[in-house]
Each structure stands twice: as structure tokens, then as C-alpha cells.
Structure 1
């Protein structure tokens, strides 16, 4: 069968682009191995301290991923194949085509490789000014959400800003003055500012949802799972990525294992197209 002309080939999914990016990082820096996987306890504590697993590489770099999708955390606790000593590339491959647990483990490993690259390239992102991607809400905005950010909903409604929340659970759908909770992603097209959880990177919904925010003024992806190279996210219309940057790996991993708040063992950071140098430049610097 002849190859499709380049102009007509479908673009790779963000997930597969990220797996390719991880391969480029390893080609540049050399193969990496995982030294440990740290999981929050079961049952997961309330709050983000019970929602994310952590993978650490042999150089100390740490990457995170969300684990509360479809029994992922329990599956990771029940995993019998050891992670310590595994090749990072092997785990990253699970992010492309594996089940929920393999995807979470693969994304955490990919995020750890990204942190390894940033350290080698001497790049550190800016501190976040808030938890919602610096959207800068103002009167007259129309806010869309992918995921439920209760503090931001309260803030928006206090400003008189209507809010549309895209949900996956039919039982949460409702309409009330200033707030619509819907299953229909097309409703995002009426919003000029959008904030989304980084769960989109795990549940195969990124491309579908991204097709409805193309005309928004600002789109923020936020969450510890978004520690990956953001180039493909920016290309898809994202204007800011907010994530977690581990500052004290030993303290951080101990707190994850105990289900405790991360505190000063990490900080919130934001990446934007204006301040992020790009994967190609980071690879060049690291080499």
C-alpha cells in the first residue's frame, strides 16, 4: 500500500507524540532506569495527596501521574512485576498502548524523564501565580472547565462569570443560574477561557476535547500529571500548563507513601509558550 502524502497523514495523538518525545530524550541523554515506584496508601486519602503515584529514576528525577481512574491505584498496588530496575523506555511504552495502570506508570516515567532533561538543560519553569493556569478571570468572561474545580467555580460566580463544567458522569448533570454541568463537549465552544485537569492525558479524551477550544482566548491544563514536554499541548491550543515540581525528592516520596500533604517538598509551576524553550532546544542544551 503506498504511503499517504505527508499533507494528508493524520497527526499523531498527543499520547503517541509524548512517547516519541521520551525516546528522543533517551537518545540524547542515554537510557534511564527506574529505581522505585511510590504509591499512596489504600484506601486513597482525600485530596491530591492520595491521588498520584511517583516514579523515580536512577539520577533522582521524579515524575507523577494520576491514579484514581478505573481502579488504577489498586491495580498498581497489586502489580507483581517489579518496577525497580526496569528500563524507563519499557514503562513509557505502556503509556501508549497499555491498560489504565500501565498508562499511569508510563506517564509518571515519561514525566520523570522530562524532569531529567530539564535538569540537564538547566531549565526551571516559573512559579505559578495561582492553581488554575493564570487565566486572569474578569467580568465578561465565560469560563469552561474540564473537571470540577470548586474554588474556581466560587471565584467565577462571585465575579458574575457563567461557568460550564464538562463531566463524564450523567448523575452530575445539572443547570442552575450561572452554572451548567454537562456531558456535551460542544458547550465549551461558548467559553473564552478554559481550564482542564491533566486527566485528559490519560483517558483518551484530549483530542476530542481540544477540538472544542480552538477559538478560546486562554486554555490551561493543570495537574501533577502534566509534567511532560508541553510542545504538543501548545500546538493543540493550550496557552499554559500548570504542574508540580518536586524540590526535595526524599521528603516528597515519603509523604506520597504516607498519604500526607506534599508541603514544601514540591512547588507549583507554570509553563507557557512564551517562556518554554521547546523540546528541540532543551535537547540541544542538554547535549
Structure 2
């Protein structure tokens, strides 16, 4: 595995998918409405390729959603154009690029006949037990409650100073170094968009289990596994037409998508998938 930053590895992986399976074009971009307080499902855009594959990306960083609404539709553009924006573009271009990489990944999975495990939750993969110390990158409220009920102390890494606090069993901090004292860690997939993956990953190298979760994490996980991640949780679109309509409306996705988990034990590897898909 290359030591290149994860972002560059993913751009190269997208290039290799197109080299193996042929070039793709963007068929459609679905954007949730630009409302002030969207529900969880209203936080993600979706790119659909001309073969029907769909990929998602988070849109609430740095005015991304507003910027995407202000831009012309990318429909008809080559997938490789959008992927290039993930490597070197602004926040909106990075979101489009990651969604496109995720759509290309779904294309690869389908062609290779690979479907991730939908029966094991990515939180469950952490197997929380007495004596653990749980670190979080992002706020996972149900998991905080579960950990505190088990007597497990929780450290939450935040970007907003106004959310910093210390209370019995729970620390909300701006200091990523405090993750180093945690043996189990769960993170949002926002790390893949805001240039913090390598920095944060340096603090979990001695952890027993690390889960990255979120619809933005539908990319090939090889580079994540190489950096110490033990489970990747993402979204699997099962009814593209219904799903894209729901994204456009900012509605819950319902049965149009479900959660899946990829682990090193069940993942064939990127090179093997490419070989099976040709």
C-alpha cells in the first residue's frame, strides 16, 4: 500500500476503476434543499453515473451545499473531471469529487459481484466492554449513552470551541491528542473531506478498534485499513430512482438505502475486485 495521502490514493483508485471498466459520465446530481436545519438525510448530495451507480458525500462543510446549488449541474461531465476536484478543488468540488469516487466504487462492486455485510453494524464492530475508553470524532449521541451506561469514559473531538466541556465520564475537546488514550474510536467520514484524516489517524495507531462511519465513506477502504481502521460503515443504495428523489426533497431515505459495513476480514481487496470486474 502506498504511503500517499488517502485523498490522492482515492483519486488514483478512481482512475484505475475507469481504466479497467471504461470511462463514466455524470447522469445526475441530487441535492437536498438548502434549509437552515436539515435532518440527517438532508446533509448529503448524491452523484449518479451513466450506468446508474450512485455515490454520496456530506455537504454541510464550509458552505458546500449553498455553493453546489449556485453552480451549473455537472450532468454530462466526465467522472474523471469531478474526481480531479476532490484532489485540488474547493469544498464544493471536493464533495462532488468524493461522491463521484463513491459512485465509481459502487460500479466496481457491482461489476465484481461484491456486496458489503449488512448484518453487522459498524458501532457493533467496536464491541464495547467494561474497561474500554471510547474516542469519538463527531457526536454519536446514542453511542455516548450506551458507553456511559457501561461505565466507559468518552472523549469527543470537536471543532467548535463553544461545545468544549468536561463532565463525569465525558470530555468534549479540541485536542486530538486526547484520542491517544482511547482504545476504541469511532469517527465520521468527514475526515475524508476536510484534510484531517492523516492527522487524526496518527492518534489511533495503538487503538484496538477504529470505525469510520457515514454515507461519505463509500470509497475503496484499502487506504483506510492500512491506516488502522478496522470497520467502515457506509450507505448502500438499493432503489436509485426513489433514493435520488428523496435526496432532492430532503426526505428520509427509507427503504431506498440501507447501512452496510466493510471489514478487512470480508473485503477482497481493491486489486482483486478490479480483476474480478474486468
TM-score range relative to shorter protein: over 0.9
Q: 1:146 aligns with which of 134, 137, 140?
A: 137
Closer, same or farther in 2 for the Cα pair 1:284/1:124, shift >3 Å?
A: same
Moved more, 111-120 or 35-44: 35-44
* 8 Å Cα contact 2:46-2:57 kept in structure 1: yes
Deviation at 1:44, TM superposition (A): 5.5
Contact 1:133 1:240 in 2 (8 A): no
RMSD (Å) for aligned C-alpha atoms: 1.1
Mapped partners of 1:48, 1:121: distance in 2: 31
Please tell me whether residue 46 in structure 1 is matched to residue 38 in structure 2: yes
TM, length-normalised to structure 2: 0.98
Matched residue, 1:165? 156
Aligned partners of 1:44 and 1:28: how far apart in 2? 42
Task: Give the Å deviation of 1:46.
Answer: 3.0
Aligned length: 277
Distance in 2, Cα, partners of 1:172 & 1:131: 26
Q: 1:11: how far off?
A: 2.5
Following TM superposition, by how much is the alpha carbon of 1:167 offset from its aligned partner in structure 2, in angstroms? 0.6
Indicate the SS of the match to 2:101: helix
Q: Which runs of 5+ in 1 are unaligned?
A: 1-9
- Residue in 2 that maps onto 1:5: none
The answer on 1:68 being equivalent to 2:60 is yes
Q: Which residue of 2 aligns with 1:280?
A: 271
Question: Among residues 164, 173, 176, which one is paired with 1:182 in the alignment?
Answer: 173
Aligned: 1:86 with 2:81 = no
> What's the TM-score once normalised by structure 1's chain length?
0.95
- The separation in 1 between residues aligned to 2:91 and 2:133, in whole angstroms, is 33
Q: Which residue pairs with 1:211 in the alignment? A: 202
Mapped contact 2:121–2:260 kept (Cα < 8 A): no
Deviation at 1:133? 5.7
1:128/1:134 contact within 8 Å kept:
no
Within 5 Å, which residues of 2 pair with 1:1-287?
11-43=3-35, 46-80=38-72, 82-130=73-121, 132=123, 134-287=125-278
CA distance in 2, matches of 1:74, 1:128: 36
Q: Distance in 1 between matches of 2:56 and 2:124?
A: 18
| 1:45–1:259 contact (8 Å) kept in structure 2 | no
Counterpart residue number, 1:4: none
Moved more, 133-142 or 105-114: 133-142
